[in-house]
Chain A
Amino acid sequence: MSDWPEEELARELALALAPVAAPRMLRIRLGFAPVKRWEFPRAALAVAAAVVMIIGGGYAASRTAALDLRRQAGADVPLRTAAGVPPAGARLLRCDGGAGMPLQVNAGKATVLLAHSGFERPAHTLAPAPEAGCHLCHSL
């Protein structure tokens, strides 16, 4: 004797073994549907290109500003020699928002920060007022 009543077992079998729809792959295998080729995600490419352009553009803009800074505040900043402090020359070391000059201080070397983008007075405004940089050197 079956442990399940015949009707109950039949109902469960009908539910468990119910027909299913054939997958699309069968159609493809038999040549009744084209193979779905992988399509390049153009939208993703556009987004990626936009992100690259934004990041790269921002970086290039900062570089441009730094180059302008160098052009405006570079070697043209006049220096007055302080007593016992021979200047080694004026040259910008940093170009990403700040400017500095390498100086010979006693026996050692020092870098004097002329300006920084965080200051209220940006570096490129030093060119019309060169004393600002000199005051920094003399204060050492």
Chain B
Amino acid sequence: MAWMVLEGSDRDLIEGCRRGERDAFRALFETYQDRIYSIALRFSGDQALAMDIAQDTFLKLFSSMAEFRGDSSFGTWVYRLVVNSCLDHKRRSWRLIPLAAEVLAVLRAPGDALHGLLHSEMRGRVRSAVEKLPAEQRIVVVLRYTEGLAYEEIATVLGCSMGTVASRLNRAHKALGRRLSHLKGSSHV
């Protein structure tokens, strides 16, 4: 896992952050910004909210660096912070701007516009179905498919058993399968 590869450099970054070195904070931000934002965006489905969640996560990360005792890997600790931030924020229902952004992204995409539109529509519906999942199922789905974490890693992050993770993922799959059944086969467009 990419997180594990970074453990050595993470240790230096953590020490630098604890000493209050600005460059260390910056390097930590550069390392984790995309992952934290991706989890926040896929969980919330809202760009503005994802920005808030990511900002909160980094502020918690920077301010509580001294509390990291090293019981778990630093990556797992960061995941816990972003998951907690996600669960703390209520999902916004107003989605006009993100939808507009998706449409603009399709229009800007090179190649066959219709093909791109169909794929974008498909992915938009999948994301919409994910957003309707209960929070505890949704976060498992996001950690699994956005970050590619194994069941064991998800269980460590969430502080639950692997069986719980498997159960939540299984229920999420069933719910998504039902909600997206009308799209079955259209993914091969």
B18 lies within 8 A of chain A by Cβ: no
B: number of interface residues (CB 8 Å):
38
Which residues of A lie under 8 Å from residue B124 when comparing CB positions? 16
A16 and B130 within 8 A (CB): yes
Q: Say yes or no: A13 contacts B181, CB within 8 Å.
A: no
A1-20 to B contact mask, C-beta < 8 Å, 1/0? 11110101111111111111
If A10-B145, A27-B33, A30-B55 touch, whether A16 touches B177 (CB-CB below 8 Å) is no
Find the residue from A1, A4, A14, A29 having the highest chain B CB count within 10 A.
A4
Contacts known (A1-B174, A26-B33, A30-B58); A20 close to B41, Cβ less than 8 A: yes
Residues on A with beta carbons closer than 8 Å to the beta carbon of B64? none
Which of chain B's residues have a CB closer than 8 A to the CB of A25? 51
**Are the CB atoms of A32 and B26 closer together than 8 Å?**
yes
A41 at the interface (CB under 8 A from B): no
Contact status of A19 and B146, CB under 8 A, knowing A6-B173, A12-B122, A27-B29: yes
Q: How many angstroms between the C-alpha atoms of A27 and B26 in the bound complex?
A: 9
B184 at interface, CB cutoff 8 A: yes
- CB of A21 within 8 A of CB of B34, answer yes
CB distance from A9 to the nearest CB of B (A): 6
A residues in contact with B54, CB < 8 Å: 22, 26
Asked if B42 and A17 make an inter-chain contact with CB atoms under 8 angstroms apart, the answer reads: yes
**B89 close to chain A: CB less than 8 A:** no
| B window 61-104: CB within 8 A of A | none
Question: Across the interface, which residues of B come within 8 angstroms of A30, CB to CB?
Answer: 29, 55, 58-59
B145-A14 in contact (CB<8A): yes
Chain A nearest CB from B64 CB (Å) reads 15
Q: How far is the CA of A22 from the CA of B144 in the complex (A)?
A: 19
* Residue of B58, B127, B177 with most partner-chain A CB within 10 A: B177
Q: Does A118 belong to the interface (CB within 8 Å)?
A: no
B187 touches A8 (CB 8 A): yes
Contacts A17-B127, A21-B34 known; A4 to B146 CB distance under 8 Å?
no
Residues of A within 8 A of B49 (CB): none
* B44 interface contact, C-beta 8 A: no
Q: How far is the CA of A21 from the CA of B38 in the complex (A)?
A: 7
Closest chain A residue to B126, Cβ basis = A16
Contacts of B55 in A (CB 8 A): 26, 29-30
| Cα separation A9 to B175 with both chains bound (whole Å) | 11
User: Which chain A residues border B146 with CB–CB below 8 Å?
Assistant: 17-19
Per-residue contact bits, chain B 128-167, to A (CB 8 Å; 1 contact, 0 not): 0010000000000110111100000000000000000000
Residues of A within 8 A of B (CB): 1-4, 6, 8-23, 25-27, 29-30, 32
A-B contact sample (16 more), CB < 8 A, given A4-B177, A4-B184: A4-B180, A12-B122, A12-B123, A13-B176, A16-B126, A16-B145, A17-B42, A17-B127, A17-B142, A19-B35, A20-B37, A22-B38, A23-B47, A26-B37, A29-B55, A32-B25
For the complex of A and B, 7 pairs with smallest distance between CB atoms: A2-B177, A3-B181, A16-B126, A22-B37, A19-B38, A16-B123, A22-B33
